[in-house]
Amino acid sequence: MNQNRCCDLHTHTIASDGSDTPGELVKKAAFAQLASVAVTDHDTVDGIPEAMDAAKDLPVEVIPGIELSVVAPKGNMHVLGYYIDTGNSELLKVIKMVQNARAERNPKILSKLKGLGLHITEAELLDMAKGGQIGRPHIARALVNHGYVKSVSEAFEKYLKKGAAAYVPKSILSPQRAFDAIHKAQGVAVLAHPISLKFASPAELDGLVSQWIEEGLDGIECYYSEHSDEVTRLCLALVAKYDLVATGGSDYHGKAKPYIKLGVGKGSLCVPEKCVEELKRRKAQLFG
């Protein structure tokens, strides 16, 4: 293992709300000389077979993963699963449940937007998604295409983020249900981007993490595009305190988040390759 190489353990493809095909993503990871890339699409594993196939002749490891949306105490909470068995029946059951909730949410958002005088059709979203799941980033891009807003970030700020005019809650999974589903699929469960929890103090985050450890949490995404150095240090301290796995990733979406680049985030991110070794060790500890 070359300790100087970086990896990216948080990426998205057209299977959810990214703009690259899984094959394109893997080729870009290889071109960027990443040691490993995890495909962690929102609430789906549909992109993983293509990604694994693309990696066969490339010098990059593809880690099968997922990002599950869960009910948060405040802010937003996602749970990443790594080295999962993508054919596990319990995981697939949970995925189907969450996808149904997502499908029911989108028409409600469009209805709210229509009430605000902003007309987006499901047909154009289907065309944009190219067979993948439709999510808020697709709606945001449609708002940009219609000229209602100037950017995806403005779309979220004005209409789509939690508390905004057209926001509709989606998450139906409890954190423990997400941890359980990932473990039944022989995976490692990691708290994604803790900054999105909107915690008021380090002590508050510590309390949440200690609670979730009792429910099955295995790690924390410490290295992240939107984390300040202070938040990164806080997360690493919690990892050390509770003997958790430290992971990290850019949260790459391609054109949906053009300011986030694969492997480097906003330019300075480097997730150390040792994170992958820690994930493998934790998986071996959990499942032998």
Q: What is the mean pLDDT of residues 211-224?
A: 98
Q: Is the pLDDT of residue 1 over 50?
A: no
| Model pLDDT, residue 3 | 52
Q: Is the pLDDT of residue 171 over 70?
A: no
Residues contacting residue 33 through CB under 8 Å, at least 6 positions apart: 5
pLDDT category of residue 208 using cuts at 50, 70 and 90: very high
| Model pLDDT, residue 105 | 85
3-state secondary structure of 150: coil
CATH 1.10.150.650 location in the chain = 96-160
| Model pLDDT, residue 2 | 46
Question: Are 145 and 137 in contact, with CB atoms under 8 Å apart?
Answer: no
Q: What is the mean pLDDT of residues 51-68?
A: 97
Neighbours of 219 (CB within 10 A): 22
In CATH, 96-160 is 3.40.50.1100: no
CATH level 3 topology of 6-87+175-287: TIM Barrel (3.20.20)
- Quote the CA–CA distance of 231 and 211 in Å, as a whole number: 19
Question: Are 106 and 207 in contact, with CB atoms under 8 Å apart?
Answer: no
Write the DSSP string, 164-229.
Answer: STT------B-HHHHHHHHHHTT-EEEE--GGGG--SSHHHHHHHHHHHHHHT--EEEEEETT--H
Q: Residue type for 69, please?
A: S
CATH 3.20.20.140 location in the chain = 6-87+175-287
Q: What is the mean pLDDT of residues 46-66?
A: 97
Question: Are 16 and 251 in contact, with CB atoms under 8 Å apart?
Answer: no
| Model pLDDT, residue 132 | 72
Question: Are 21 and 14 in contact, with CB atoms under 8 Å apart?
Answer: yes
pTM over 0.75: yes
HSE (side-chain half, CA atoms, 13 Å) at 51: 30
Closest of 132, 148, 159, 158 to residue 253, by C-alpha: 132
Q: What is the mean pLDDT of residues 122-147?
A: 86
